[in-house]
Amino acid sequence: MAERGGRGSGGHGSLDKSITLPPDEIFRNLENAKRFAIDIGGSLTKLAYYSTVQHKVARVRSFDHSGKDIENEPLYEISVQEEITARLHFIKFENTYIETCLDFIKDHLVNTETKVIKATGGGAYKFKDLIEKKLGLKVDKEDVMTCLIKGCNFVLRNIPHEVFAYQKDSDTEFRFQTNHPNIFPYLLVNIGSGVSIVKVETEDKFEWIGGSSIGGGTFWGLGALLTKTKKFDELLQLASKGQHTNVDMLVKDVYGGACQTLGLSGNLIASSFGKSTTADKEFSKEDMAKSLLHMISNDIGQLACLYAKLHNLDKIYFGGFFIRGHPVTMRTITYSINFFSKGEVQALFLRHEGYLGAIGAFLKGAEQDNPNQYSWGENYAGSSGLMSTSPDVYPMQRTRSGTFDMFEMDRLERPLVNLPLLKDPSTYIPDTVDLTDDAMARKYWLTCFEEALDGVAKRAAASQPDSVDAPERAEKFRQKYWNKLQTLRQQPFAYGTLTVRSLLDTREHCLNEFNFPDPYSKVKQKENGIALKCFQSVIESLDSLGWEERQFALVKGLLAGNVFDWGAKAVSDVLESEPQFGFEEAKSKLQERPWLEDSYSQWLERLKEGPPHKCALIFADNSGIDIILGVFPFVRELLSRGTEVILACNSGPALNDVTYSESLIVAERIAVMDPVIQSALKEEKLLLVQTGSSSPCLDLSRLDKGLAVLVRERKTDLVIIEGMGRAIHTNYYAALKCESLKLAVIKNSWLADRLGGKIFSVIFKYEVPCK
């Protein structure tokens, strides 16, 4: 029912003022902070604020080439500019630090026009005066449950892999769920000192449908009486070591050995504490704590199931301090829900459960900014990730910043939606391999990213030769990403399902964090320039071929272009040492047909026999040869067939992937040389759009809304996904409602080996949805 109550009492006296806070780690970007919110529980405080972050971004701008010698000029101008983006910061710390933190905030708060701070949580009233005095802000209290639910809706909508099921006895303890497009209705069971059961039907409509007084406070209070152990966490530790069968009366204690023949499960608890009905026997603390834990968890699970049944709901999210990251309680609650619902209902937990109240309070105060209008993304660089709070289970060294758990979200400039062509958005999983599940693969990829790290840091530093502090920032980047990789080795579930995509994205976030927005901008510029020079000769040679030969050459060109990928270590080695490594050489590296995955004949057949596609959506991959000599000739052929083309490129930079703004310049330059492209652009038969993403991979459930609208308008009936990141690491198994073509060259020998091929093996996967 309420937040945890007991431990905070008397907290004022024991405030720890001795700590000094490292400002670049905690309470970041306070200078521009506004709209504060605070959620004070019984032992933890969660602070939220909205801030703007100044970022360096690489911008490209086309030169005016008229009358100039374009041979020796760079293709376009690159400038580094400051961009301001919005970010949500959430910090969680123990109540004992509250005064120190408030002082720190006061000292660093410069530009704020904020007058109020939204406050929620059971402890809000206790610290009201302190907050008002320290910050000079008026405390505006918000209802606990309203905040909790607002926060819950927000994370369910915005954070991929927010939700997980807990399975203790499986290899993957944390089984993350795909975000369902429709998050309602659901049941939120908040286990604080008591239990509140709330049914949430829409964004604004929720109802308290019941509760129970047997909750976390019962475990804590009764546990303290029984075991003389004062702290909640210690009680949980005791419980995890105990044997409840010494204290509980089991079915087999009542029925004896006959359980099996009767089909009864003898280990079920017939009566909790049924064996302690005696004054002359001693029971161990551990056993009593365990019995209490089972009793309470089972009871809550049973009630939750009864309420779920009555209201016909199958999604139950559990939260509150009783649950909060404790494997012990997540396990017993999961067991209970399975038992009482006979497996029909799944107990679900949230990665950012501890922040819900703070997020909700923040949203209440930020309604003017309309946060719900935007899409938000978790910033992996600035977020601590899900930590297990049980030191026994995960013996991680708790650093200073471990005391301060952080969660940051970036506001995305445009809303993200599902690709309308996904066959089943509710079951779509972008990633091909779940590294949380696959220990072998996890080990390989973590090592792979570790090994590549020095090179990435070096390249980042080299990309800003004019910046004095570039080497220092590069080193900071290196350290930060290294630490993330180490965390993920210990706790692969820290940021949701661990995937190659999440590893790549985290690296991009870390690079951005230290102002390396686009380390490959110059490389891309150069490669685009070189490739453009070859465009006409490539087109000429293609045009000289017969139809069938040309189709094959186009596909080969697309694949060869895809060899140029700075993300793959094997290729970046070659590119570093042989800058003239050409298009033809790339073609010669390709595997001969039959390819590793080869449905080229079906594709050719389709082109030959079927009517032209109405509209093709192409997700492009790399800059330079790939986009210019691979993709554009292919686009040109489609256009000639009468197929409209939507060419989708990343909104922001990632490795040497072509960005939307680069693609505009490239298209413009090609248009000058090629009348087909020129007229298609003019007649809007070739449309360049942005994906909304800055990832080297592709999540078809989070795409720019404009793209989705266009896809629908143009009645897109073919989707082409190119490149290892987008077609193999992600979307390899993605099922679409229309025809699709997934092609890539495998530039990683381990992955090639795993798929049963060799390095530079070709994937050509043409799929037609079954009717």
Partner 1 sequence: MEPLRNGGGAEDKAWRRGADAGPPRRWSGGGGGGGGAAGADSSAAAGPSGRQRRDSVRKNRPLFPWFGLDIGGTLVKLVYFEPKDITAEEEKEEVENLKSIRKYLTSNVAYGSTGIRDVHLELKDLTLCGRKGNLHFIRFPTHDMPAFIQMGSEKHFSSLHTTLCATGGGAYKFEQDFRTMGDLQLRKLDELDCLIKGVLYIDSVGFNGHSECYYFENPTDAERCQKLPFTLENPYPLLLVNIGSGVSILAVYSKENYKRVTGTSLGGGTFFGLCCLLTGCSTFEEALEMASHGDSTKVDKLVRDIYGGDYERFGLPGWAVASSFGNMMSKEKRESVSKEDLAKATLITITNNIGSIARMCALNENINRVVFVGNFLRINTISMRLLAYALDYWSKGQLKALFLEHEGYFGAVGALLELLDSA
Choice between 244 and 352, CB closer to partner 1 = 244
3-state secondary structure of 72: coil
Q: Is residue 177 within 8 Å of residue 314, measured between CB atoms?
A: no
Can residue 313 be called a binding residue for partner 1 (CB under 8 A)? no
Which of 97, 164, 166, 340 is the binder for partner 1 (CB under 8 A)? Answer: 340
CB of 726 to partner 1, least distance (A): 48
- Given the complex with partner 1, which of 203 and 668 has the nearer CB atom? 203
Alpha helix locations (H) across 248-323?
Answer: 251-255, 259-262, 285-310
Question: DSSP label at 141?
Answer: E
Pick from 178, 302, 338, 401: which binds partner 1 (CB under 8 A)?
Answer: 302
Residues 471-530 that bind partner 1 (CB under 8 A): none
* Chosen residue from 85, 146, 372, 418 binding partner 1 by CB under 8 A: 146
Q: Cα separations (Å) of 326 from 19, 123, 396, 451?
A: 27, 22, 15, 34
Please report whether residue 145 would count as binding partner 1 according to CB under 8 A: yes
CB 510 within 8 A of CB 481: yes
Question: Whole-number minimum distance, CB 392 to partner 1, in Å?
Answer: 23
Among 258, 440, 672, 709, binds partner 1 (CB under 8 A): 258
Q: Does 248 bind partner 1 (CB under 8 A)?
A: yes
Q: Please select the residue that binds partner 1; options are 105, 137, 295, 667, rule is CB under 8 A.
A: 295
Binding string, residues 228-247; x marks residues near partner 1 by CB under 8 A: --x----------------x
Q: Based on CB atoms, which residue is closest to partner 1, 217 or 327?
A: 217
Told to check if 21 binds partner 1 by CB under 8 A, we report no
The yes or no reply on residue 393 touching partner 1 (CB under 8 A) is: no
> Min. distance of Cβ 228 from partner 1 in angstroms?
9
Instruction: Tell me the β-bridge partners of 763.
Output: 597, 744
Question: How far is residue 126's CA from residue 132's CA, in Å, rounded to a whole number?
Answer: 12
Phi, psi for residue 619 in degrees, rounded to 5: -95, 110
Spatial distance between the Cα atoms of 251 and 269, rounded to a whole number of angstroms:
6
- The Cβ of residue 588 has, within 10 Å, a number of other Cβ atoms equal to 10
Contact 562, 744 (CB under 8 A): yes
Helices and strands (DSSP H and E) totals, the chain: 26, 25
Options 9, 79, 111, 399; binder of partner 1; rule CB under 8 A = 9
Q: Which residues are paired to 92 by β-bridges?
A: 46, 405
CB nearer to partner 1: pick between 104 and 232: 232
Render 492-552 in DSSP notation, one character per residue: TTBTBS--HHHHHHHHHHHHHHTT-S-TTHHHHHHHHHHHHHHHHHHHHHHHTS-HHHHHH
> How far apart are CB 300 and partner 1 at their closest, in Å?
10
Give the nearest distance from C-beta 15 to partner 1 in angstroms. 19
CB nearer to partner 1: pick between 148 and 665: 148
Q: Which of 20, 66, 72, 278 binds partner 1 (CB under 8 A)?
A: 278
Please identify, among the stretches 256-264, 653-661, 732-740, 760-768, the one whose residues bind partner 1 according to the rule CB under 8 A: 256-264
**Could you tell me the smallest distance in angstroms from the CB atom of residue 310 to partner 1?**
5
Question: Which positions from 162 through 201 interact with partner 1, judged by CB under 8 A?
Answer: 192-194, 196
121, 107, 95, 134: which is closest to 13 by C-alpha? 95
Specify the pairing of strand 116-120 against strand 34-40.
parallel
Which residues from 548-607 bind partner 1, rule CB under 8 A? Answer: none
Q: Which is nearer to partner 1, 249 or 453 (CB)?
A: 249
Of the listed pieces 4-12, 180-188, 515-523, 640-648, which binds partner 1 according to CB under 8 A? 4-12
Strand intervals (E) in 155-262: 163-166, 174-176, 186-191, 195-200, 206-212, 249-250
Specify the residue, 270 or 393, whose C-beta has the smaller distance to partner 1: 270
Check residue 225 for interaction with partner 1 (CB under 8 A). Answer: yes
């009555």: which residue's tokens? 310
Can you tell me the distance from the alpha carbon of 521 to that of 518, in angstroms, rounded to the nearest whole number?
A: 5
**310 binds partner 1, rule: CB under 8 A:** yes
Nearest residue to 538 (alpha-carbon basis) of 678, 637, 645, 684: 637
Can you tell me which of 54, 79, 81, 213 binds partner 1, judged by CB under 8 A? Answer: 213
Q: How many CB atoms lie within 10 A of CB 257?
A: 8
> Applying CB under 8 A, does 39 fall inside the site for partner 1?
no
Map residues 86-125 to x or -, x wherever contact with partner 1 holds by CB under 8 A.
------------------------------------x---
The β-bridge partners of 720 are 618, 741
> Which span sits near partner 1 by CB under 8 A: 249-257, 391-399, 516-524, 636-644?
249-257
Question: Does residue 307 belong to the site contacting partner 1 (CB under 8 A)?
Answer: yes
The only residue of 51, 95, 276, 512 in contact with partner 1, by rule CB under 8 A: 276
Q: Is 640 a binder of partner 1 (CB under 8 A)?
A: no
Peptide bond between residue 425 and the one before it cis (omega within 30 degrees of 0): no
Please give, one letter per residue, the 3-state secondary structure of 670-722. Answer: HHHHCHHHHHHHHCCCEEEEECCCCCCCCCCCCEEHHHHHHHHHCCCCEEEEE
Among residues 80, 251, 604, 768, which is the contact residue for partner 1, using CB under 8 A?
251
Contact between 394 and partner 1 by CB under 8 A: the answer reads: no
For partner 1, which residue of 24, 169, 280, 540 counts as binding (CB under 8 A)? 280
* 165: helix, strand or coil: strand
- Could you tell me the two tokens for 683? 């007649």
Instruction: Give dist(CA 636, CA 571) in Å, integer.
Output: 27
Q: Among residues 114, 177, 190, 218, which is the contact residue for partner 1, using CB under 8 A?
A: 218
For residue 771, which of 744, 740, 737 has the smallest C-alpha distance? 737
Residues near partner 1, by CB under 8 A: 1-2, 4-7, 9, 122, 143, 145-146, 192-194, 196, 208, 210-218, 220-222, 224-226, 230, 247-249, 251, 253-258, 262, 268-280, 283, 288, 295, 298-299, 302-303, 306-307, 309-310, 340
